[in-house]
Amino acid sequence: MTDAAKRLLLGRAMRSDRLSETLLPKRIALPVFASDALSSVAYAPDEIFLTLGIAGFAAYSFSWKVGLAVAFVMLVVVASYRQNVHAYPSGGGDYEVVTVNLGRTPGLVVASALLVDYVLTVAVSISSASQYAASTIDAFQGREVTVALVAVVLLMAANLRGVRESGTAFAIPTYTFMVAILGMAAWGFARSVLGDLPPVASARFELKPEPDYAHGLAGLAGAFLMLRAFSSGCAALTGVEAISNGVPAFRKPKSKNAATTLLMLGAIAVTMMLSIIVLANKMGLRFAENPVKQLTLHGQTGRAVRGGVEFPGGFRYTQDPVIGQLAKAIFDNLPLAAGLVTTVTGLILVLAANTAFNGFPVLGSILAQDRYLPRQLHTRGDRLAYSNGIIILASFAMVLIVAFNAEVTRLIQLYIVGVFVSFTLSQTGMVRHWTRLLRTEQDAAARRRMYRSRVINAVGLSVTGLVLVVVLITKFTRGAWIAIAAMAVLFLIMKGIHRHYERVARELVIDEDEDTRLPSRTHAIVLVSKIHKPTMRAINYARAMRPSSLEAVTVNVDPEETRALQEEWDRRGIPIPLKVLDSPFREVTDPVIDYVKSIRRESPRDLVTVLIPEYVVGHWWEHLLHNQSALRLKGRLLFTPGVMVTSVPWQLASSAAREERLEGTGSGTRRSEVDRTEGPS
């Protein structure tokens, strides 16, 4: 039943030689790797208006300038990463670029930043989607956390089925979102030209500035608020780096296809974001961080009610996201079209997290291969996806969603710090990469291409470095310190894991003098609790091994039972001696351990083999009734040098039925095939 449920959830297991069938064409790669950046138009404009709104409605006149600045940074980063995918197509992305050109420590800084940012991508995107769902479906209001957690679980299950299947499933809604947003923008601009563009529902309100900004954006406080709006809007750039990490998933020519996908991503995302900002200004949008305090109607503030604000006179207002407000106004005569825009926007925010579900496991696999993360992250699952990485990402994202109550405004403060750390270090590495190649390149045409690429990456370095400084200044005290602390902790954990693997590797190096020398003698000990079939199998197996010495050992817990055991031993004429260990406190494990250690002390160059008869049972509850003493003994003996522990199994009838079930599913064969191909974890 367990295997059947797994197959229903994930599908049939795939052979390793079918990995090439999972490679993606550009039309599928765009929704798989670019959905995060494309979906940012659903919350990046919101954050720009939300931040500027602190200074009142007049501050919205700067929104298009902030939007242009974000668009410029987006295009610079896209151009820079097109150089990355051509130079480093192996899929290491920023981690590989920085490690190769700047060293291991900067590479780990980038890796920790990206891993944290991937988790935040899932948390922010899904939380934003749950808010869209709550604005569309009344039943979801107040239950955003539950909706978000269910969405993460469903997304995890889809990705466990494999990259290609999840990409195909996500392609239709992603393209529908692009058509819906661009179509809404085109219809809105057409109505503007014709002179019948209606205002949004929030245009009737006044937006009160906070006391510090009563005189507008003048002075240092105003400049700081502008920088805050810009840094929040730069959330639109998250996900751009995912394509450079996912180049191996593209069909050939991999680098060219990845670069083309990057270009399409940049053009579409910039067009959608700027269109939304321009339309929002034309339609009189008001968007408040605290609608109860900031929004006034006829000079009067309202009071908070479930799902919104109630103003004097009984008028209730629910603040929808920016796209939701635009859609309802632009399609005021086409409610189905407005509903479609809102629905696909919420859906794309769920699918945006899919970018992280593709980037995080691949990066985790590379780090595991380099021994900075547990080796289990390098192993592919039944569907040739990195299943362990997918599950870990979903788990951490759900923790964040619960901790921050699925509130995008709180989560967004932690966001984008990591991605701009990776942007900046990556562009630094690329500048050094081209400089190194130019020292040896003699071909004039190749040198011109390298000079051009270096200029592009140098511009990218300057821009992303400046944005990183702005982000750190404006967001550090508002929550970015949490993301930085998480990066530092993850960095130290990866360093510790690497030291552990290096230490283990040094300990396992073969010593030609010690490790090729045969032991002087081997002592075999068969543990006996009673005389039955498992005991006789263990004795016969030990005799077949032909050790230097062989004896059976039992522990005297109950004198009468021990005496009966000795009498039966002699009566049956079992041809090996039976040694009885005293145990005044009726404990089994310690007397055996002490006896084994005494043999080791007398002959340190000898080996001791302890054979433990065990039952093999077929039901989980049978494990509670058998083998508990054997488990404790094995656990202690494994820490004793020079001791080999051998389990001698005896299959009970229930285990035979389980074996038949396993043979019927064939899962054991498939699993072993994958394990042999991928190597030990």
Spatial distance between the Cα atoms of 543 and 575, rounded to a whole number of angstroms: 10
Residue 431 lies in a domain: no
N-to-C CA span, the chain: 27
Phi, psi of 491, rounded to the nearest 5 degrees: -60, -45
pLDDT of residue 660: 62
Q: Do 488 and 586 sit in the same domain of this protein?
A: no
Query: Average of pLDDT values for 557-565?
Result: 90
CA dihedral 164, 271, 356, 399 (to 10 degrees): -130
Q: Do 232 and 288 sit in the same domain of this protein?
A: yes
Nearest to 122 by CA among 246, 265, 243, 238: 238
Query: Average of pLDDT values for 236-244?
Result: 76
**Residue 375 near residue 103 (C-beta atoms within 8 A):** no
Q: Do 308 and 347 sit in the same domain of this protein?
A: yes
pLDDT of residue 631: 83
Residue 511 lies in a domain: no
Q: Do 145 and 228 sit in the same domain of this protein?
A: yes
pLDDT of residue 272: 92
CB atoms within 10 A of CB 261: 25
Q: Do 327 and 398 sit in the same domain of this protein?
A: yes
Among 5-14, 121-130, 270-279, the range scoring the smallest mean pLDDT is: 5-14
**Residue 93 near residue 285 (C-beta atoms within 8 A):** no
pLDDT of residue 28: 79
Q: Do 190 and 88 sit in the same domain of this protein?
A: yes
Concatenating the DSSP letter of every residue in 162-184 gives -HHHHHHHHHHHHHHHHHHHHHH
Q: What is the pLDDT of residues 300-349, one digit of tens each?
A: 888 888 767 888 877 888 888 899 899 999 999 888 999 899 888 878 87
Nearest to 321 by CA among 41, 35, 43: 43
CB atoms within 10 A of CB 16: 13
Spatial distance between the Cα atoms of 201 and 482, rounded to a whole number of angstroms: 36
**CA quadruple 619, 624, 630, 631: dihedral sign:** positive
The helix (H) or strand (E) run that includes residue 607 is: strand 607-616
Phi, psi of 101, rounded to the nearest 5 degrees: -100, -25
Among 111-125, 536-550, 571-585, 655-669, the range scoring the smallest mean pLDDT is: 655-669
pLDDT of residue 168: 64
- Read off the tokens for 173: 């809604």
Residue 133 lies in a domain: yes
- Read off the tokens for 388: 């362990």
Query: Average of pLDDT values for 245-252?
Result: 76
Q: Do 537 and 497 sit in the same domain of this protein?
A: no
Query: Average of pLDDT values for 495-522?
Result: 82
Q: Do 485 and 543 sit in the same domain of this protein?
A: no
Model pTM above 0.85: no
Q: What is the pLDDT of residues 376-393, one digit of tens each?
A: 887 765 555 678 888 899
Q: What is the pLDDT of residues 162-173, one digit of tens each?
A: 655 555 666 888
- If one counts the domains in the chain, the total is 2
Q: Do 555 and 484 sit in the same domain of this protein?
A: no
Residue 440 lies in a domain: no
How many residues would you count in the chain? 681
Spatial distance between the Cα atoms of 114 and 73, rounded to a whole number of angstroms: 19
Residue 437 lies in a domain: no
Nearest to 159 by CA among 112, 113, 108, 118: 118
pLDDT of residue 425: 93
pLDDT of residue 307: 65
- Which of 355 and 497 is assigned the larger pLDDT? 497
Residue 64 lies in a domain: yes
Q: Do 489 and 588 sit in the same domain of this protein?
A: no
- Which of 655 and 669 is assigned the larger pLDDT? 655
Phi, psi of 580, rounded to the nearest 5 degrees: -105, 125
Domain that holds residue 608: 522-678
Q: What does the H/E/C string look like for 504-541?
A: HHHHCCCCCCCCCCCCCCEEEEEECCCCCHHHHHHHHH
Q: pLDDT band for 669, please (50, 70, 90 cuts).
A: very low
Concatenating the DSSP letter of every residue in 63-112 gives HHHHHHHHHHHHHHHHHHHHHHHHH-TTS-HHHHHHHHHH-HHHHHHHHH
Spatial distance between the Cα atoms of 235 and 408, rounded to a whole number of angstroms: 12
CATH number, domain at 557? 3.40.50.620
Residue 494 lies in a domain: yes
If 0-12 CB within 10 Å is exposed, 13-18 middle and 19+ buried, where does residue 656 land?
A: exposed
Residue 251 lies in a domain: yes
CATH number, domain at 29? 1.20.1740.10
Q: Where are the beta strands (DSSP E) in 623-665?
A: 643-651
Q: Do 210 and 283 sit in the same domain of this protein?
A: yes
Q: Say what angle helices 93-102 and 417-438 make with each other, to 10 degrees.
A: 50
Q: Do 542 and 490 sit in the same domain of this protein?
A: no
Query: Average of pLDDT values for 149-160?
Result: 86
